[in-house]
């Protein structure tokens, strides 16, 4: 159930001391979106595939080399860092905002599984030979650290995990910061393939990353708008509409895919009018699990661009 969450609530809370009494949630505007998976290396490709307009690549792309990193670091960085900085950079570029002043929320179910595999393998054989660089790359906030260093960002940055609910938890934190402090927030979500002995217990296939810039107020850059709230009750992850999204379902960040499909339908690329089934799907709210009995519910508002074209 979606309760009406007027923007006024967000503005009131931002200006003042506390909001007293329950507030159901709020609204965020997506000012930038980015995506990367080996078969869908970029949001334009992913958006088309999630809408059913295009197929994923037959030959997977090599891992991204984010421009924001120095050339030597582009090669040396762990996969998670390369992935996260690629999508973070693309989403912030689209938003037109200054990365140096943007608070950020990084979320990943498992962090860098290859670095963890290295650490545990080395500890089991020659613990005194641990690489100091691999050790500091093993922290869950490594991507957040590299991002803030690369962009000269002194704003708050956090790194979260909530196992299979990591995307929902990251979105909740980013949406909360956006609403509570009336600030744009960068959300970056990623997971990589399980490697080595860890793969015998940890399920994660391939690489998947996405980034969103959420803003408290609409602007000419707004590509989609969502009202959000928390809802109790038994829940499970919503199904996926597209074969392209389903093909990525084995990654530990697959919980982001229902939202990304909604973004693909809600965000208006201006290419063509959306057909009736897509329009209906674009208007439907989606529910992302936070725990076994709680979800963050996202209700897309009609696209301003689409509305303008319809008149």
Handedness of CA 190, 196, 198, 201 (dihedral sign): positive
Q: Rank residues 14 and 54 by Cβ distance to another protein and give the closer one.
A: 14
Burial of 163 (0-12, 13-18, 19+ CB in 10 A): exposed
Least spacing, CB of residue 141 vs another protein, in Å: 4
Q: How far is CA 77 from CA 148, 188, 230, 240, in A?
A: 15, 17, 37, 32
The closest alpha carbon to 252, from 189, 158, 196, 197, belongs to 189
| Residue placing its CB nearer to another protein in the complex, 158 or 278 | 158
- Select from 35-43, 63-71, 111-119, 274-282 the region that touches another protein (CB under 8 A): 111-119
84 Cα distance to chain centroid: 10
Nearer to another protein, 26 or 56 (CB): 26
Q: How many Å separate Cα 143 from the centre of its chain?
A: 13
Q: How far is the CB of 41 from another protein (least distance, A)?
A: 26
> At its nearest, how many Å lie between another protein and the CB of residue 33?
23
CB atoms within 10 A of CB 158: 15
Tell me which H or E stretch contains 106: strand 104-107
Which of 116-124, 213-221, 258-266, 269-277 is the region at the interface with another protein (rule: CB under 8 A)? Answer: 116-124
Minimum distance of another protein from residue 42's CB (angstroms): 27
Min CB(57)–another protein separation in Å: 30
How far apart CA 26 and CA 181 sit, in angstroms, is 12
DSSP label at residue 266: H
Task: Please identify which residue in 12, 123, 271, 284 interacts with another protein, judged by CB under 8 A.
Answer: 123
State the DSSP H helix or E strand holding residue 289, giving kind and residue range, or none if neither: strand 286-291
Enumerate residues 270-299 that contact another protein by CB under 8 A. Answer: 290-294
Separation between Cα atoms, residue 300 and residue 307, nearest integer Å: 13
146 vs 259, beta carbon nearer another protein: 146
- List residues bridging with 288 in a β-sheet: 296
Q: Please list every residue from 130 through 149 that binds another protein, using CB under 8 A.
A: 130-132, 135-142, 144-146, 148-149
Residues 160-189 that bind another protein (CB under 8 A): 160-163, 165-166, 169, 172-173, 176-177, 179-181
Residue 246 CB, nearest distance to another protein (Å)? 22
Residue (44 or 197) nearer to another protein, CB: 197
Q: Residues touching another protein: how many (CB under 8 A)? A: 77
Of 220, 212, 231, the closest CA to residue 173 belongs to 212
For the four alpha carbons of 267, 103, 66 and 210, in that order, the dihedral sign comes to negative
Among positions 217-276, residues that touch another protein (CB under 8 A) are 230, 232
Least distance between another protein and beta carbon 289 (Å): 11
User: How many angstroms separate the CA atoms of 272 and 268, rounded?
Assistant: 9
Residues 49-78 that bind another protein (CB under 8 A): none
Using the minimum distance from each CB to another protein, give the nearer residue, 18 or 310.
18
Among 12, 70, 197, 279, binds another protein (CB under 8 A): 197
Cβ 244 to another protein, closest distance in Å?
26
Of residues 8-47, which lie at the interface with another protein (CB under 8 A)? 13-26
């Amino acid at each position: 159930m979606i309760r009406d969450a007027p923007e006024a609530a967000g503005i009131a809370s931002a200006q003042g001391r506390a909001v007293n009494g329950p507030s159901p949630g709020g609204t965020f505007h997506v000012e930038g979106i980015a995506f990367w998976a080996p078969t869908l290396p970029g949001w334009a490709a992913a958006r088309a595939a999630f809408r059913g307009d295009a197929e994923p690549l037959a030959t997977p792309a090599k891992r991204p080399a984010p421009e924001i990193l120095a050339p030597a670091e582009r090669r040396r960085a762990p996969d998670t860092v390369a992935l996260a900085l690629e999508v973070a950079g693309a989403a912030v570029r689209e938003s037109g905002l200054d990365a140096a002043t943007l608070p950020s929320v990084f979320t990943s179910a498992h962090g860098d599984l290859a670095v963890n595999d290295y650490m545990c393998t080395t500890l089991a054989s020659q613990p005194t030979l641990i690489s100091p660089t691999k050790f500091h790359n093993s922290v869950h906030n490594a991507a957040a650290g590299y991002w803030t260093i690369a962009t000269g960002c002194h704003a708050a940055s956090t790194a979260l995990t909530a196992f299979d609910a990591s995307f929902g938890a990251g979105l909740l934190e980013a949406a909360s910061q956006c609403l509570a402090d009336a600030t744009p927030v960068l959300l970056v979500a990623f997971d990589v393939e399980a490697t080595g002995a860890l793969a015998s217990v940890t399920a994660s296939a391939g690489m998947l990353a996405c980034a969103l810039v959420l803003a408290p107020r609409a602007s000419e850059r707004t590509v989609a708008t969502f009202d959000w709230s928390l809802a109790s009750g038994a829940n499970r992850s919503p199904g996926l509409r597209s074969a392209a999204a389903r093909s990525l379902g084995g990654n530990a960040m697959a919980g982001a895919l229902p939202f990304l499909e909604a973004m693909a339908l809600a965000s208006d690329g201006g290419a063509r009018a959306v057909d009736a089934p897509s329009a209906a799907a674009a208007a439907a709210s989606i529910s992302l699990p936070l725990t076994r009995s709680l979800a963050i519910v996202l209700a897309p508002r009609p696209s301003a661009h689409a509305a303008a074209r319809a008149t």
